[in-house]
Amino acid sequence: MRARRRRRGRAGGGRRHHEQDVPRLRRGVVGAVPLVPPTGRYGSEDPESYERPRRHTRPRTKERPSYDDAVEAQVVTVDRGRYTCVLEDHLVTAMKSRALGRQGVVVGDRVRLVGDTSGDEGSLARVVEVEERATVLRRTADDDDPVERVVVANADQLVVVVALADPEPRLGLVDRALVAAYDAGMDPLLCLTKADLAAPDELLAIYEPLGVPSVVTQRSSWGGAGLDEIRERLADRTSVLLGHSGVGKSTLVNALVPDAGRETGSVNAVTGRGRHTSTSAYLLALPPAGSTTGGSIIDTPGIRSFGLAHVDPEHLIEAFGDLDALTDDCPRGCTHAASEPECGLDQGVADGVVSAARVAAYRRLLESRGEPTY
């Protein structure tokens, strides 16, 4: 029980929480690692500390925190050690400051920048702080590789984009993405595309017992309701879009953000490189539409596998409060899988407090952890 409580308190992974619920974040501390500014104003590698003797023109007391003129920005994409950040209305290229050490900086991170934040051609700012993350979406390269990678930070919804046909839906992919979402404390959303090619009923029935919300769409209806419903679901949130190649994700992103220029052809408009070399996620602000005012989406073009070795089954069930409540009397170490002899979930079904379909769907998710990555 004690171990379980400790896991519940795990940073960034509590039961479903949204960015809005998280109190204004502590600054300058990421996880347990305090970011200690280097001695001197910005550290010895900073050209400004040589070129502009600010200390003489702007006196500061010792107590004054460093970086108090740093500006807030959000990381939009990462490419070979360069961080593109959005600062109010313009993009700034930045690198990590030495003060960050090995601290990772990922798409969605809210950061503080110093240096040249003009965004002018050739300018380079420096990331000096990463704010505590409200959520982290992680993956392991594959299930046998325990190295965890943070994919994106601060997203509160994971949109799993699945084509109803061409390519055929792969449930393994959907299940694994859902596991990652629940583990990260993000709300899942199923986005079923290409409804002009196949009916959604079968797929919807499979995910209905889990209570996963869904939208069904097809490109030809985008003048009408299809796209509006998705916009409403995305409004004022930060949503990660995940999907296998060819499901129509880029087509959808381009419809949502008309000047996004996400590649549906062969060359990435952002990097100028081939589509398959672009592996970084990319954050795009949603334009206001109808009654919605904002929100952003994070496109994840390069994710081909979604290892879940980092996911603790005991943590997964916490995303399903009604099921979690049934497991208090499970034998020690019960994984709540179908093979467990005395699992409280089976008792719950026998007692009629939970549907067999819901337990079976939960167990399918649980088992998807061990399936091959996609």
Ligand X SMILES: Nc1nc2c(ncn2[C@@H]2O[C@H](COP(=O)(O)OP(=O)(O)OP(=O)(O)O)[C@@H](O)[C@H]2O)c(=O)[nH]1
As annotated, the binding site for Zn(2+) includes 330, 334, 336, 343
Nearer to Zn ion, 333 or 352 (CB): 333
Query: In whole angstroms, what is the distance from residue 249 CA to residue 296 CA?
Result: 15
Q: Binding string to ligand X for residues 200 to 219, with x set by CB under 6 A, is what?
A: ------------------xx
Residue 188: helix, strand or coil by DSSP? strand
> Is residue 226 involved in binding ligand X (CB under 6 A)?
no
Contacts of residue 25, Cβ cutoff 8 Å, sequence gap at least 6: 110, 131, 132, 134
Interface residue with ligand X among 247, 297, 298, 323 (CB under 6 A) is: 247
- The binding site comprises 193-196, 243-251, 330, 334, 336, 343
Contact of 183 with 317, CB cutoff 8 Å: no
Query: In whole angstroms, what is the distance from residue 303 CA to residue 282 CA?
Result: 12
Size of site (CB under 6 A) for ligand X:
16
Interface residue with Zn ion among 173, 317, 343, 349 (CB under 5 A) is: 343
Least Cα distance to 221 among 245, 200, 242, 239 occurs for: 200
> Is residue 279 involved in binding ligand X (CB under 6 A)?
no
Q: How far is the CB of 7 from ligand X (least distance, A)?
A: 35
Interface residue with ligand X among 264, 277, 279, 355 (CB under 6 A) is: 264
Query: In whole angstroms, what is the distance from residue 12 CA to residue 153 CA?
Result: 10
Query: In whole angstroms, what is the distance from residue 251 CA to residue 163 CA?
Result: 12
Query: Of the ranges 100-108, 146-154, 239-247, 280-288, which one interacts with ligand X (CB under 6 A)?
Result: 239-247
Q: Is 191 exposed, middle or buried (0-12, 13-18, 19+ CB in 10 A)?
A: buried
> Is residue 359 involved in binding Zn ion (CB under 5 A)?
no
Rg of the chain (C-alpha set): 23
> Is residue 249 involved in binding ligand X (CB under 6 A)?
yes
> Is residue 75 involved in binding Zn ion (CB under 5 A)?
no
Q: Which does 264 bind (CB under 5 to 8 A by kind): ligand X, Zn ion, none?
A: ligand X
The residues of the shown chain that bind ligand X, judged by CB under 6 A, are 193-194, 196-197, 218-219, 243, 245-251, 264, 301
